[in-house]
Chains A and B, each alone.
Chain A
Amino acid sequence: MKSFLIILFSLLIHAGAAFAQVQVSEPWIRATVPAQKTSGAYMQINAAKEARLVSVSTPVAGISEIHEMAMVNNVMKMGAIKGLDLPAGRAVELKPGGYHVMLLNLKRQLKEGETVPLTLVVEGPDKKRQSIEIKAVVRPIQATGATDAPAMHEMKH
């Protein structure tokens, strides 16, 4: 049992190193009000080598999907996509008005200031998959983007 744990542990370390090629910055989730069953998660993903985000999961939501959003003739269209390409060395932004992780069937209210774990699964061109664990901060329901934290907003004016 002990040796098994050691092997498992070393595998995890190995996996961590391999996945250090994908950097996730400023992950956040929009706060919800009681009885609201959905929210969106946003972040910037930077892959050193070409990769593809294939799934996202979090214990707070029954279902997590990668969504794209488009405005067509002033109609907001939103829908799930199978994966999101992460070109080498170029940041891909998940933000309001664009790509986002749609969290459905939320198990509880998400309150401003708390952190929520998310697991991202990224696939390389060799089809090998890696999991990346991140923690997203819950921002106020009125948040409009990654840079609109109150402190930053004040500095702009």
Chain B
Amino acid sequence: MFILVLVLVLGACSNEQPKFTGIDLTGSKTDLQFTLTDVDGKDRTLADFRGSYVMVFYGFTQCPDVCPTTLARAVEVKKKLGSDGQKLKVVFISVDPERDTAELVRNYLQAFDREFIGLRGTPEQTQIAAKALHVFYEKVPSGSSYSINHTAITYILDAQGNLRLGMRNEQGADDYVADLRTLMKQSS
């Protein structure tokens, strides 16, 4: 067992392995087969976006802070990637389908980038979608209303639809761009 661990550690340190700034989730056992609905009412799965690199983020439009920051960063990442930005799809999954109507999600995302994709579902579908990427979310009362605590990681999938990276909220656009470029180089 000890030797196995040692081999794994050494393996991770070898030059063969690409270095990422985010959390390397390559090979994680995840089932990304969930279905949600886009803002036009069409059923969508993450497999629909194969051929593109995908940045997935879970949030809600009534969130004043992390969600707009994350989306603003996605705008920046896409811009910094230059022409490679076209290979990127940004997907926002609502953890608040009760309040996030399709129209609201559409308006919200379009304020950032008209190509960003918004997905939502029934509460059950949302739970399945969150579980797929081990995303935690919970309602917390806030005044007369509620807020939602949620995982603030942006997940990156490669063009084959495999989960590859988890980017932390405190990481800047340059980290995202560097890791996306590393992924793009690997497959070219």
- Chain A interface residues (CB < 8 Å from chain B): 30-31, 33-40, 62-63, 65, 67, 69, 71, 74-80, 96-97, 100, 102-105, 141-144
Contact = CB atoms under 8 A, between A and B. Distances in A.
B161 interface: no
Nearest to B142: A80
A97 B66 contact: yes
B69 A97 contact: yes
Contacts of B151: 74-76
Contacts of A103: 64
B144 A104 contact: yes
A76 B62 contact: no
Interface in B54-95: 61-66, 68-69, 71-73, 75
B125 interface: no
Given A71-B152, A104-B142, A104-B143, A78 B111 contact: no
B149 A38 contact: no
A96 B142 contact: no
A74 B64 contact: no
7 contacts: A38-B63, A75-B152, A76-B169, A78-B63, A100-B64, A102-B142, A142-B71
Contacts, number: 110
A63 B147 contact: no
A76 B150 contact: yes
B107 interface: yes
Nearest to A78: B147
Interface string B94-125: 00000101011001101110000000000000
Contacts of A69: 65-66
Interface of B: 61-66, 68-69, 71-73, 75, 99, 101, 103-104, 107-108, 110-112, 136, 140, 142-145, 147, 149-153, 166, 168-170
Specify the main secondary structure of chain A where it touches its partner.
strand
A52 B128 CA distance: 44
B72 A144 contact: yes
A63 B147 CA distance: 13
Going nearest first, the 10 A-B pairs with the smallest beta carbon separation are A40-B64, A33-B107, A142-B72, A76-B152, A38-B62, A63-B143, A76-B66, A141-B111, A77-B149, A35-B104
B68 A30 contact: yes
A38 B143 CA distance: 12
Contacts of A76: 63, 65-66, 149-152, 169
B75 A142 contact: yes
Given A33-B104, A104-B145, A78 B72 contact: no
Contacts of B111: 31, 33, 141-142
Contact of B147 (A34, A62, A71, A79): A79
B65 A78 contact: yes
A60 B150 CA distance: 27
B143 A80 contact: yes
A39 B64 contact: yes
A65 B147 CA distance: 12
Nearest to A71: B169
A21 to B, nearest CB: 29
